[in-house]
Structure 1
Amino acid sequence: MKILTDLHCHTVASTHAYSTVKELLEVARDRGLEAIAVTDHGVELPDAPHLWHFVNLTCLPEAMYGVRLLRGCEVNILDEEGHIDMPEALLGKLDIVVASIHTPAFSGTEPGKDQTRAYLGVLENPYVDIIGHSGNPKYPYKYDPVLLKAKQLHKLIEINAHSFAARPQNVENCRNIALRCKELGVGVAVNSDAHFCGKVGAYGPAVEMLAEIGFPEELVMNRSLDVLREYLKDRKTIC
């Protein structure tokens, strides 16, 4: 399975990541990717850039080294209602918005409590495109209502390659989520969540897991830039 866009990459603007935009693009070119999205953390995480970082993304080129550069953000889901930490006026100017739960920014109750409502709430945000790394067992949710809502709204569930190495406790849930997406016909985005340029487009364990369960390639909506554009066209235009 070839996946030619990587929609979740971090730069040095997120201070626990280690590469520049230019370095990410160089690796993307060398690996034959068509596009990457820079998605640094929303402002409520301790390592996040200032809001002005996202305002000023317009100064970046739309493409470099033959790779389309998508301007994005990984926003933080803040609470059990699905509120996020970035202003809608800004999100409307971005190409890709990933929404994830990160413990330092999430005000939800004790770990292990069902967070279906949080995910359903954030899916209703018109600017959110992808639910990020939702396999964390600290924040379980009922798969069917969330996955079906994502399908209804033409949004994507992320299969996060970084989780397989950095968060091994997530792997079983990642597999179960992928299986249910397959059964329900829900679109996914397979992303690296790269925190270093060498990880851009490195989906290895995620792709291996998808192959093991016979996941249909046609549900991987970031397998090419054209497929991604077509999937998102009713909600936004990616040039």
Structure 2
Amino acid sequence: MSWERICQNCSFCQAKTGLLRTRSVCVAPDGRRGEVHASDAACPAFRMTPKAGFGLRGRWGEGVSRSREASRADEPAARAATHLSPAGGAAKLGGSSKRGAPMLQLACDVHTHTLYSRHAYSTIEENVRAAAELRLELLGSTDHYSSMLFSEVGSMERAQGYDLRDFQYFMNYGAWPRVWRGVRLLHGCEADVVDLDGHLFGHDVPLTHEINGNPLHRQLTLKERVFQGCDYVIASVHCDEFARGVSLAQTTRMYVRALEDPKVLILGHAGRAGVPFDVGEVLAMAREKGKLVEINEATLASHPSATSTCRRLAERCAEEGVMISTGTDSHISCGIGHFDHVRSMLEEIGFPRKLVATRDAETFLGVLERAVGTSVEV
């Protein structure tokens, strides 16, 4: 099976070619080290290879020839024996990181994108499949809700600048199952902060009709209509032009006001937004409201210049007792649940596990209900 804890499926198992034969060797820093057999039971340092994690390899010589029915029958026992770590594959419950400390478990990915975001490449089903492969407990789908999706057009059909019909994707979330392939599924969006008052995209776009042309019974803004279908919102800055050259007090107020929005649960990738702010004041508001500060995998992986800022933000969260969320910000399914950089940084800091809201589904759902009032029935 692809998820078996055997040397063949471990990243630390390497092939060494000698004069007479090729042998398998364990190179784990705190593992058994030395020569091993591919089918040997793995040592505590086991880290599943990406190929094994995605079901592309099984036991040495067996491939994946066992039937799908037999595989499913074995899954309950496998889950009882192992807990699959999203970043590195399988880690035994109570297992160790490379430094010998308990490995930080991140069982939720709550910042992900689908094709709807236009510069992303996977469907929601592909994302769910990827989450299920890694045995994630919870997946949050948070497509962009911003001017990046559709341009403002002044036609008769778009008299208010933006057409509600372009955003109806967020209004049919009820078609999604709440549990899909064993993964709890949450509906969200990543909304752009658009001004120094902390307003979110669509706050100033009034609506008069539904997508089918029927008049609304009461006046709503585009933001209000979209947020009705969301379990939670990530508030992020993508275009910082409006915040250039302004005071620290103004940018701090912007983030504080964004966190005050009733539907906002997470302050998104603040470490790479390029907008400085008073960290202490913003974290105080997050703690007061029970909101989360995101440590973003894509930022650490693709924006090395922002690493020190993100690290300091995480350290301050630990010092101030502010809970964090972890999101891959994946724009393609193969990135779902892979938290290599986030986990490494949090472990180096010694970040308190109790402050990681995404450590398991129960914790995240509890934070969501307390902070936003969203109670998800499964």
Q: Secondary structure at the match of 1:205?
A: helix
State how far apart, in whole Å, the 2-side matches of 1:17 and 1:25 are: 15
What is the identity, as a one-letter code, of the residue corresponding to 1:10? Answer: H
- 1:46 offset after TM fit, Å? 3.9
CA distance in 1, matches of 2:236, 2:146: 13
Is 1:231 the counterpart of 2:334 in the alignment?
A: no
Instruction: Indicate whether 1:39 and 2:162 are aligned.
Output: no
2:322 to 186, 200, 204: 186
Is residue 172 from structure 1 mapped to residue 172 from structure 2 by the alignment?
A: no
- Provide the secondary structure at the position in 1 that maps to 2:116: coil
In the alignment, which residue of structure 1 is the partner of 2:268? 132
C-alpha distance in 2 between matches for 1:202 and 1:119: 28
Equivalent residues of 1:44, 1:85 under 8 A apart: yes
Letter of the 1:202 counterpart: H
Distance 2:197 2:233 in 1: 18
Contact 1:41 1:47 in 2 (8 A): no
Deviation, 1:140, is: 1.0
SS of 1:108's equivalent in the other structure is helix
User: Residue in 1 aligned with 2:244?
Assistant: 110
CA contact (8 A) 1:137 1:169 kept: no
| Matched residue SS, 2:187 | strand
Cα deviation for residue 187 of structure 1 reads: 0.3
How much has 1:171 moved relative to structure 2?
A: 0.9
The 10-residue stretch of structure 1 (174-183 or 222-231) with the greater mean CA deviation from structure 2: 222-231
Change (3 A) 1:137 1:152: same
Q: CA deviation at 1:118?
A: 1.1
CA separation of 1:77/1:64 partners in 2, compared to 1, >3 Å: closer, same or farther? same
* Equivalent AA in structure 2 for residue 51 of structure 1: F
The CA RMSD measured in Å over matched residues stands at 1.8
The answer to whether residue 139 in structure 2 is matched with residue 27 in structure 1 is no
**Per the alignment, do residues 233 and 174 of structure 1 end up closer, same or farther by CA in structure 2, a change over 3 Å counting?**
same
Matched, 1:82 2:198: yes
State the aligned residue count.
237
2:160 counterpart of 1:160: no
Kindly state the Cα deviation for residue 63 of structure 1 after the two structures are TM-superposed: 1.7
TM-score normalised over the length of structure 1: 0.93
Matched, 1:7 2:110: yes
Asked whether the 8 Å contact 2:238–2:273 carries over to 1, the reply is no
Structure possessing the higher radius of gyration over alpha carbons: 2
SS in 2 for 1:152: helix
C-alpha separation between the residues in 1 aligned to 2:170 and 2:288?
29
Q: Identify which range, 146-155 or 86-95, moves more after superposition.
A: 86-95
- Counterparts in 2 of 1:237 and 1:46: CA distance versus 1, 3 Å: same
Contact 1:135 1:170 in 2 (8 A): yes
Residues 33 and 137 of structure 1: CA distance in aligned 2, closer, same or farther (over 3 Å): closer
TM-score by length of 2: 0.60
Instruction: Report if aligned partners of 1:113, 1:140 keep a CA contact under 8 Å in 2.
Output: no
1:50 counterpart letter in structure 2: D
Deviates more, 1:46-55 or 1:161-170: 46-55
Partner of 1:100: 236
Shift of 1:90: 3.0
**Does structure 2 retain, via aligned residues, the 8 Å contact 1:6–1:35?**
yes
1:56 and 2:156 are equivalent in the alignment: no
Match of 1:209 in 2: 345
Structure with more relative contact order (C-alpha pairs < 8 Å, separation 6 or more): 1
In the alignment, structure 2 segments of 5+ residues that lack a partner are: 1-103, 152-164, 203-222
Question: What is the Cα deviation at residue 232 of structure 1?
Answer: 2.5
- 1-side partners of 2:147 and 2:368: how far apart? 27
CA distance in structure 2 between the partners assigned to 1:89 and 1:67 by the alignment: 27
Structure 1 residues 10, 137: CA separation in 2 closer, same or farther (over 3 Å shift)?
Answer: closer
Q: Which residue of the partner structure matches residue 30 of structure 2?
A: none
CA distance, structure 2, for counterparts of residue 9 and residue 47 of structure 1 = 19
In structure 2, C-alpha distance between the alignment counterparts of 1:24 and 1:113, rounded to whole Å: 40
Whole-Å separation in 1 of the counterparts to 2:273 and 2:364:
29
**Counterparts in 2 of 1:188 and 1:20: CA distance versus 1, 3 Å:** same
Measure how far apart 1:57 and its partner are: 1.9
Matched residues, percent identical?
34
